[in-house]
Structure 1
Amino acid sequence: MKQSCRLTISLWARNDSNINFDGELSRLAPYRFGAVRGISYGSRFDEFINSGVLNLELASDQTSAIRMALAQRFDILISNHAGAIHEMKKMGLLNDFKVLYPVVQEQETFFGFAKKAHLEPLRDELDQVLKQLKQNGYYDLTYKKYRDVVTPRCSFLLAMQVDGITCFQRYAANSISSTFTSRWLGIQNGA
């Protein structure tokens, strides 16, 4: 069975904003939204886009979208929750933004591997590792560790981005083959 993780989609506004969100997207129609071109943010937001009432500005990538929000090109940024935290922290801008709760949507997410690259062994090992992380409680432990930063539940691998690779490496040292760790995290054995 292929393992999946939860992906949380949330709305972000500048800290100086007085925007409030009660969970009803249609009430935010007067505001300008920003998103990354080519990304689906789940069925709820896709329906909101298709309603025709949304003023949407598209960015080429997450970093550009964050800069555009900071420059007031739009009022609300929609993003993968943990991804936004990771990028904002990397840019030194996390304290310039606030999350508008409740989240827009939580959805299952899966990992895809190109067939031509012959990555079946890596895919199968990743599925096994995720299964182990869920069975032994480490997935939930990681979630709880980031509850105050990454709220609500995010995927283990996205939480891993928030903490670099520290959590995964700690687990890897105990239970995951060093070959898998090296291939997946892009590190050399003994590094």
Structure 2
Amino acid sequence: MFGKWFDGRSGRCPRQEHTGLTAIPFRILLWVLLLQSGWCWSDEAASTDTDEPGRVLVAALAEVDYPPFYYTEAGHLTGISVDVLNYLADQLKLRITYKRLSWPRVLQSLERGRVDIVTTYSYTPERARDVIYVQEPHATEINVFFTRADSDVSFDGDLHALSGQMIGMIRGYNYGLAFDDADFIRKDSVLDERTLVRMVAGERFNVAIGNPFAIRLEAKRQGVEDEIRLLSPPVDMSPIYMAISRQYPDAEGLADAFGDAIRHLKASPLYEDWLERYGMNDFSDE
């Protein structure tokens, strides 16, 4: 069972306890007042017409769906990262514009300030050069190895056991320090999950690594769901954060306000409902 690995409350930062959604933290109220006054915005910041409430944040998502964090269902964008960001926007009187890009362009756009925020981001010191992380994670991500259903490859948690394999991965993704720093493993990068699944099913890669939700969804869309097998235990479990481009005016202030609001949300029944809705408490590899 993978359920316990997806509880977004298991992040690195201390948790601030709240009893519900009624008592709004002071820093959130202060941030709303600052937004309404325009105090923290430069002339170059995104703006809206004066007759429309709230300021606009441009949020970057990869162009390939990445469940359970963001994906399209029945023509609508959904996922726990989307729900959390929309909740934050409502609390802070912001408006969100979602922009879907290839993952390399997401990283480049954050660096250059062409987008304001990324919704689903694991922490690395290299990434922190371009963004201010929201200190409270809103979810937890796992990554697993996967192979073809008829393959005899197995994994017992020891990365050295796969040192003879070429491992497929996605360019620019972070899979945890153990895997990322494993220079004894041969790795080959592709653009996205769509390509990764196709190359495993087509025997270009014998083994690849990825988020099991995204891998299963993409395999289903390609009609190869029965040809893919996930391996356990997981390679990595990491908290997932939102992060603000350092080019954004008062990025630190916005990140602080987001962190307070996320802590407040995670103490509520609403957050528990979202974990249940997206299968993040009881996801199984069986």
TM-score range, shorter chain: 0.5 to 0.7
Other-structure match for 1:130: 262
Write the distance in 2 (CA, Å) between the matches of 1:19 and 1:33. Answer: 12
Other-structure match for 2:239: 108
Aligned pair in 2 of structure 1 residues 112, 87: CA closer, same or farther (>3 Å)? farther
1:76 to 207, 210, 217: 207
Cα-Cα RMSD: 2.9
State whether residues 81 and 150 of structure 1, in contact with CA within 8 Å, keep that contact through their aligned partners in structure 2.
no
State whether residues 13 and 97 of structure 1, in contact with CA within 8 Å, keep that contact through their aligned partners in structure 2.
yes
Structure 1's consecutive aligned runs of 4 or more residues displaced over 6 angstroms after TM superposition are: none
User: What is the deviation of 1:111?
Assistant: 1.2
Write the distance in 2 (CA, Å) between the matches of 1:90 and 1:127. Answer: 35
Other-structure match for 1:178: none
Write the distance in 2 (CA, Å) between the matches of 1:123 and 1:129. Answer: 10
State whether residues 22 and 102 of structure 1, in contact with CA within 8 Å, keep that contact through their aligned partners in structure 2.
yes
Other-structure match for 2:163: 29
Count, aligned residues: 148
Write the distance in 2 (CA, Å) between the matches of 1:148 and 1:139. Answer: 15
Q: Which has the larger radius of gyration?
A: 2
| Counterpart check, 1:7 vs 2:7 | no
Write the distance in 2 (CA, Å) between the matches of 1:125 and 1:91. Answer: 41
Aligned pair in 2 of structure 1 residues 112, 94: CA closer, same or farther (>3 Å)? farther
| Paired amino acid for 1:69 | V
Other-structure match for 2:178: 44
Write the distance in 1 (CA, Å) between the matches of 2:143 and 2:256. Answer: 27
State whether residues 2 and 127 of structure 1, in contact with CA within 8 Å, keep that contact through their aligned partners in structure 2.
yes
Aligned pair in 2 of structure 1 residues 134, 7: CA closer, same or farther (>3 Å)? same
Gaps of 5+ in 1: 152-191
- CA deviations 1:115-139 (Å, max 9, x no partner) are 4455969766754553344211444
Aligned pair in 2 of structure 1 residues 18, 86: CA closer, same or farther (>3 Å)? same
Aligned pair in 2 of structure 1 residues 111, 94: CA closer, same or farther (>3 Å)? farther
State whether residues 85 and 150 of structure 1, in contact with CA within 8 Å, keep that contact through their aligned partners in structure 2.
no
TM-score (norm 2): 0.44
> What secondary structure is seen at the aligned counterpart in 1 of 2:236?
strand
Gaps of 5+ in 2: 1-133
TM-score (norm 1): 0.63
